[in-house]
Chain A
Amino acid sequence: MTDLEEYRRRARAWLEANTRDLPPDPDLATARAFMARLHDAGYSGITWPTAYGGQGLSAAEERAFQQAARDLTLPIGVFGIGLGMCGPTLLSLGTEEQKRRYLPPLLRGEEIWCQLFSEPGAGSDVASLQTRAVRDGDCWVVNGQKVWTSVARQADLGLLIARTDPDVPKHRGITMFIVDMHAPGVTVRPLRDMTGEAHFNEVYFDDVRIPADRVVGEVNGGWRAAVTTLLHERVSIGTGAARTERPASFAAVSRAARERGLLADPAVRDRLVDLYLRERAFDLFNARLAQEVKAGIDPGARGSVAKLLLAELTLDSAGIAAEILGPRAVAYGGHGEGRIARALSWAPGMALGGGTNEIMRNIIGDRVLGLPREPQVDRDVPFRDLKVGTQAKRADAERPAAKDTGGKDTGGKDAGGMDTGGKDAGETGAGAKEAGR
């Protein structure tokens, strides 16, 4: 047995022993306690440096652990954004003091993180965000609103991006901060989504003071930092969900079809074949991507392919399941059909959170295929002159002459310049990552 196999075997044994007695719907205290045990056992932050509470091991051990945990549901969803996005962002951009202060408690489950990017007026175009941060002595004072924030109610800390200079173009005047979610002036309101539940939140900032040493990266260099965070998000949504249970999976739907005696219908069999093709192709792509990464091939922006395919699979598989199971699929309760009703209700979220399907296609076109970008009419315009969010109406009222900068004047330049190098520009499409997956 190789060392790696031994590592996996021991991880598996630990996981089996420590997940056996978990309640089916673990509360926050249970989640924190589990995370602490996970850390004590050496399975939290496997690839992170030991100086920050990690294990300092390689990606091979991380994969071995993931394999060992593959069919288990660990109660660590509430830490997902911290572990998958905020932590990695701090690892690459944080100061030494920030890493020493924030990473160990994150790995031990003592502090929960959320991500504060999207705003009502800044969805696909996150860089047009309007939340302001103004310097005042040793602090920054923040005012504004964020939306689609997962785990904000539980979070102790947040990774925030806010506008620090409205006089420069939108991508160049943003700064990333670590914000204390318990600070005065932070208000969290649950956002009831189409499932009827509140998986996300709105977060309001009223004169919230953030000490100046909580800036992540450079002042006005927050866009690059946000792009780093979002790439982590896409990889974790696209590939992570491969492990989560799918209520409209081929296995589940074909079992249900058999139980109801529907397999005699060739149309049902053919729809099941469709479901199999889509699901298996997605799984094999993810498996190949993982093997490529293991072999040292940089996946680049191909996490966006996984994210787009998963979004389409989620929508389509719920639709196929509903067609096969018929009227009872839209009724909750009873013979498990509630699962399909819930899946139908959840499915659009997968196609919107973490960047819409349209934004994913832009990213695949621009960054994977290297296609010329669309002309960007707002790229070199100072932020305060843009039609953005609540600023749009004001811009229309005050500066009717300046409202149409598009098309003829900047379009020609971009089309002629074959602008593919502007990694700092363009849409990135932030969004919320669902809680508790």
Chain B
Amino acid sequence: MRLILSEEQRDLAATVRAFLADTAPMARVREIAESDEPYDREAWRRMAEELGLTGLAIPEAYGGAGAGHAEVAVVMEELGAALTPTPYFASAVLAANLLLAAGDEQAAGDLLPGIASGGTVATFAVPLPGEPPPRATRGGRLDGSLPCVLDGAAADLILVAADLDGAPALFAVEGGERTPLTTLDLTRPQARVDLDGTPGRRIAAADPRAAVAHALDLAAVALAAEQLGGMRRCLDAIVEYAKLRVQFGRYIGSFQAVKHRLADMHCTVEQAESIVRYAAWAADESPEELPVAAAFAQSFLGPAYFQVAKDHLLLHGGIGFTWEHDAHLYYKRAKTDELLLGAPRHHRARLAERLGLLP
């Protein structure tokens, strides 16, 4: 079990961090978030062309770099810290992993190179508990509504888990009526997608349910890394502020009411980092541990990030409630991330099941 980054991984983190600070600083993040642009196209192009990030964990046979999930986690951590609006998670993580997990070599050969190069933006309509899946016909037509698809408006390709004759089946859809949604987190757009006899390409999978579960486990790990990056950035920011802000003639960080909360936040971040490193290691090196590790990571990281982001906002005082301050961006991202793959209770229920806690 490896819980610390290798030298190469630290180099990768430093490269991505420097790139994002230069290409997509917070002013740029806000510009994109408040515009009609669904994501930062310039940052995305350079992430693909200059850094090769979009195909990082896609096998070389499909035009990627063949790196591991631990490397993807490093990238996600930096994107999470910088809040960069890109479809990296939807395309390079969710969609790419599902295509690989399905095992349809023809489809992978046709679709993955575009995703790896960044030329194709793909996403996966994560099945929501309680929402019926779209229905598919044998002729490859889909009907139904997908209420909130990550990067659903901008995506060239939407992977869908549909119901075909009572069994799950995977399809890749290019069309559908896309309605952009106003989201709590403006840096992470979602869209409603209505399918009305929309043609889809069937993605063959020996066990579509297992393929979706595996892709979602990998996504849970990558999302946990994003949450770690965000929470660490929040902690760093509020610690710096506590060293500068003076009230009652003292730096606020010298008050125990503030100091002790910051200490607790630090403890949370220390544990979160340990969990993310473990889960990323399991994804690459110990697949039999992944189902538990993934549910564990989301059960812990989701609420933990929100707690840290919330305290980071509150400890700033009134300034933290303003639009100009970045605190609300992290607060909203943290809540969105906490729910993105299902609410914490779903991850906890999954964890209980996977730990064998069944009557």
A interface with B by C-beta (< 8 Å):
254, 261, 263-264, 269-270, 272-273, 276-277, 280-282, 284-285, 287-288, 291-292, 295, 297, 302, 305, 308-309, 358, 360-362, 364-366, 368-375, 411-412, 414-415, 418
Known: A277-B299, A284-B275. A291 touches B263 (CB 8 A): no
Return B211 CB to nearest CB of chain A, in Å. 26
Question: Residues of A contacting B256 with CB < 8 Å?
Answer: 358, 361-362, 374
Q: Are B254 and A374 in contact (CB under 8 A)?
A: yes
Residues of B in contact with A, size category:
35 or more
Bound-state Cα–Cα, A261 to B259, Å: 44
Bound-state Cα–Cα, A269 to B357, Å: 6
Q: Quick one: CB contact mask for B331-354 with A, threshold 8 Å, 1 for yes?
A: 000000000000000001101100
Most-contacted residue by chain B among A254, A277, A305, A374 (CB, 10 A) = A277
Q: List 7 A-B contacts (CB under 8 A).
A: A282-B271, A284-B277, A287-B1, A288-B4, A361-B263, A361-B264, A371-B251
Question: Residues of B contacting A375 with CB < 8 Å?
Answer: 250, 254
Known: A285-B270, A287-B3, A288-B4. A372 touches B251 (CB 8 A): yes
Q: Are B259 and A288 in contact (CB under 8 A)?
A: no
Known: A368-B266, A371-B242, A371-B243. A270 touches B352 (CB 8 A): yes
Question: Residues of B contacting A280 with CB < 8 Å?
Answer: 275, 296
Return A161 CB to nearest CB of chain B, in Å. 26
Contact of A372 among B243, B263, B300, B357 (CB under 8 A): B243
Question: Residues of A contacting B264 with CB < 8 Å?
Answer: 361
Question: Residues of A contacting B254 with CB < 8 Å?
Answer: 371-375, 414-415
Is B278 positioned at the interface, with any CB of A under 8 Å from its CB?
yes
Tally of A-B Cβ pairs under 8 angstroms: 128
Q: Are A276 and B351 in contact (CB under 8 A)?
A: yes
User: B304's closest neighbor in chain A, by CB?
Assistant: A281
Q: Are A364 and B4 in contact (CB under 8 A)?
A: no
Bound-state Cα–Cα, A254 to B351, Å: 14
Bound-state Cα–Cα, A118 to B232, Å: 36
Question: Residues of B contacting A371 with CB < 8 Å?
Answer: 239, 242-243, 251, 253-254, 259, 262
Q: Are B299 and A415 in contact (CB under 8 A)?
A: no
Known: A360-B263, A371-B262. A272 touches B250 (CB 8 A): no
Is B249 positioned at the interface, with any CB of A under 8 Å from its CB?
yes
Is B267 positioned at the interface, with any CB of A under 8 Å from its CB?
yes
User: A263's closest neighbor in chain B, by CB?
Assistant: B359
Bound-state Cα–Cα, A415 to B244, Å: 11
Is B27 positioned at the interface, with any CB of A under 8 Å from its CB?
no
Return B38 CB to nearest CB of chain A, in Å. 35
Is B209 positioned at the interface, with any CB of A under 8 Å from its CB?
no
Is B355 positioned at the interface, with any CB of A under 8 Å from its CB?
yes
Bound-state Cα–Cα, A206 to B21, Å: 66
Name the interface residues of B129-170: CB closer than 8 Å to any CB of A: none
Is B274 positioned at the interface, with any CB of A under 8 Å from its CB?
yes
Q: Are B296 and A263 in contact (CB under 8 A)?
A: no
Most-contacted residue by chain B among A276, A297, A373, A411 (CB, 10 A) = A276
Q: Are B352 and A269 in contact (CB under 8 A)?
A: yes
User: A420's closest neighbor in chain B, by CB?
Assistant: B243
Is B41 positioned at the interface, with any CB of A under 8 Å from its CB?
no
Is B28 positioned at the interface, with any CB of A under 8 Å from its CB?
no
Q: Are A358 and B266 in contact (CB under 8 A)?
A: no
Is B246 positioned at the interface, with any CB of A under 8 Å from its CB?
yes
Bound-state Cα–Cα, A362 to B264, Å: 10
Q: Are B249 and A309 in contact (CB under 8 A)?
A: no
Q: Are A415 and B348 in contact (CB under 8 A)?
A: no
Question: Residues of B contacting A291 with CB < 8 Å?
Answer: 2-4
Contact of B355 among A276, A281, A372, A415 (CB under 8 A): A276
Return B290 CB to nearest CB of chain A, in Å. 15
Most-contacted residue by chain B among A281, A295, A414 (CB, 10 A) = A281
3 residue pairs, one from A and one from B, having the closest CB atoms: A365-B259, A371-B253, A284-B274
Bound-state Cα–Cα, A264 to B271, Å: 30
Other A-B pairs, 14, CB within 8 Å; known A308-B267, A375-B254: A264-B359, A284-B277, A288-B4, A305-B270, A309-B271, A358-B256, A366-B259, A370-B239, A374-B255, A374-B256, A414-B250, A414-B254, A415-B250, A418-B243
Is B260 positioned at the interface, with any CB of A under 8 Å from its CB?
yes
Bound-state Cα–Cα, A201 to B224, Å: 47
Q: Are B249 and A365 in contact (CB under 8 A)?
A: no
Question: Residues of A contacting B278 with CB < 8 Å?
Answer: 284
Bound-state Cα–Cα, A291 to B274, Å: 11
Q: Are B357 and A263 in contact (CB under 8 A)?
A: yes
User: B300's closest neighbor in chain A, by CB?
Assistant: A277
Name the interface residues of B284-341: CB closer than 8 Å to any CB of A: 296, 299-300
Bound-state Cα–Cα, A183 to B355, Å: 57
Q: Are B300 and A281 in contact (CB under 8 A)?
A: yes
Is B217 positioned at the interface, with any CB of A under 8 Å from its CB?
no
Return B235 CB to nearest CB of chain A, in Å. 8
Known: A272-B352, A305-B270, A360-B263. A365 touches B253 (CB 8 A): yes
Question: Residues of B contacting A418 with CB < 8 Å?
Answer: 243, 251
Q: Are A284 and B249 in contact (CB under 8 A)?
A: no
Contact of A288 among B251, B274, B349 (CB under 8 A): B274
